[in-house]
Amino acid sequence: MRHTLAGVIGAAIIILAGGCSSKKAASTSDAAGSGYGSGKGGGSGVDVENLDQRGGRGTVIGDVFFDFDSSALSPEAQEQLKQNAAWMQKNSYTSVTIEGHCDERGTDEYNIALGERRAEAAQNYLINLGVSNNRLSTVSYGEEKPFDTGNNEEAWAKNRRDHFVTK
């Protein structure tokens, strides 16, 4: 009887451990695969078919990146926004906050305003793609929440972004 009980307990532990595996939130990808907000504007994007279809709180969809001192959407940013819109159309019960971010150069006030223009540019583009305005909100963090704390062009390029989070 002890062997049977031990086998049942062992099987239960294996089942429980397997059930606790985490599922990664969908995000952009790059060669380094650095996680939150990773990826560069050049061709990176969301794999729409493999996203967490539950769209749970905090699900991350693809970031878009900007040139220095600009809120203009590059062709790569527009492509990423099309993928984000497709995800939002498949997950119509979710809302998204678009977070505008900047690099550390410029005054706090300037960067807050630039982050706002960046977030609004993405919001307007998504609305033009058919996403309902009432599902989108924007916030600007300026330079306050950098993805990369480095002090060089590579780090700054990662920080000039819009980050998308479901709610």
- The tally of domains found in the chain comes to 1
Measure the CA–CA gap between 30 and 35, rounded to whole angstroms: 9
DSSP E strand boundaries for 1-153: 60-65, 96-101, 136-142
Residue 50 has pLDDT above 60, yes or no: no
CATH classification at residue 43: 3.30.1330.60
Which residues, listed in sequence order, are joined to residue 161 by a DSSP beta bridge?
A: 65
Whether 15 is covered by a domain: the verdict is: no
Whether 2 is covered by a domain: the verdict is: no
Residue 153 has pLDDT above 70, yes or no: yes
Global pTM exceeds 0.85: no
Whether 129 is covered by a domain: the verdict is: yes
Domain containing 157 equals 24-166
Q: Determine contact, residues 21/56, Cβ cutoff 8 Å.
A: no
Local confidence band at 167 (pLDDT 50, 70, 90 cut-offs): confident
Token look-up 């086998």 returns 7
